[in-house]
Structure 1
């Protein structure tokens, strides 16, 4: 059977779940901001949510880099049956953009956090800020971070729609990345 390795499949689904969680959290941060979330959930819970968001973002960065390294060592299994040119181009483009954004978004979030004067937390451990405080730059980078999150959401919708199409067609494409 043409499948990715078990480790590649586990990383795919783990990152997928984490990205969905970060997108939902990011939407809450955008819609309610810190003050709104603090009023709704309390300051301690809000701080914990921001820490988890930062930590999971850094974890996604590490797992994405690991996934790329694994992909270099073990190429993707061939499509059986082969995909048409348009499907290969669109699928390859969406995958490439997802990889780029799953690397860039955590880095932009990390730099935006540092520039805004907030701590860089990784599950309770303090990480270096990468740059000094610059509130104006931080605000601009957080805007880009949010726009990037919306782009990732759009790319995920395309990716999920394609997966559902292949699952519905039962053409074997989904077995490449499925866990069982």
Structure 2
């Protein structure tokens, strides 16, 4: 068995994005389940506003990192599996990766649109970015609803992806070595 690995930059991006996704999901589900008033009641107004700003900032960073990851993947394709995966493993794993990539690009864009439509500032660190679309509170509420549903789907995909990673780690078949850091 010859173990081939992703490039160091690809591996770093994978784990950085994974950490960001966990943080974004935690904050997003807090906002979704408690709403603004509930979050203020739990954390106070200043910390709540900071959490929203951080969530927006890291959402935009996630979008940028995913674009970089896709560009890098075009230049440095995935290393071959040795031994090869079964057809079902390739299909399921490839499908999960494709859905994750699509959602990790679509969710930040959807959040940006929902925020703009709701009349809130698009914060990226201390900058305020353009809203892309005009204010429409009803549309904003609908987009935030679907943003939350997308977050639930990402959580499900991440759980399946993590379970598969643990399975391959336990099998010691080299899959986890491909993406592990040094």
TM range (shorter): over 0.9
Alignment partner of 2:131: what SS? coil
The CA distance in 2 between the partners of 1:9 and 1:47, in whole Å, is 33
The CA distance in 1 between the partners of 2:65 and 2:148, in whole Å, is 21
Deviation at 1:6, TM superposition (A): 0.5
Matched, 1:62 2:64: yes
Deviations 1:123-155 (A, max 9, x none): 111100000000000000000000000000000
Residue-pair matches, total: 180
Alignment partner of 2:123: what SS? strand
Matched, 1:51 2:53: yes
Deviations 1:34-93 (A, max 9, x none): 111111111010000000000101000000010000000011000111100000000000
Alignment partner of 1:94: what SS? helix
Alignment partner of 2:82: what SS? coil
Residue matched to 1:31: 33
Residue matched to 1:150: 152
The CA distance in 1 between the partners of 2:112 and 2:165, in whole Å, is 31
Q: 1:92 aligns with which of 91, 94, 105?
A: 94
Q: 2:114 aligns with which of 73, 98, 112?
A: 112
Deviation at 1:27, TM superposition (A): 1.0
Structure 1 segments of 4+ aligned residues over 4 angstroms from their partners: none
The CA distance in 2 between the partners of 1:156 and 1:176, in whole Å, is 18
Give the CA RMSD over aligned residues.
0.6
Uncovered stretches (5+) of structure 2, i.e. residues with no partner: none
Residue matched to 2:8: 6
Normalising by structure 1, report the TM-score: 0.99
The CA distance in 2 between the partners of 1:3 and 1:14, in whole Å, is 17
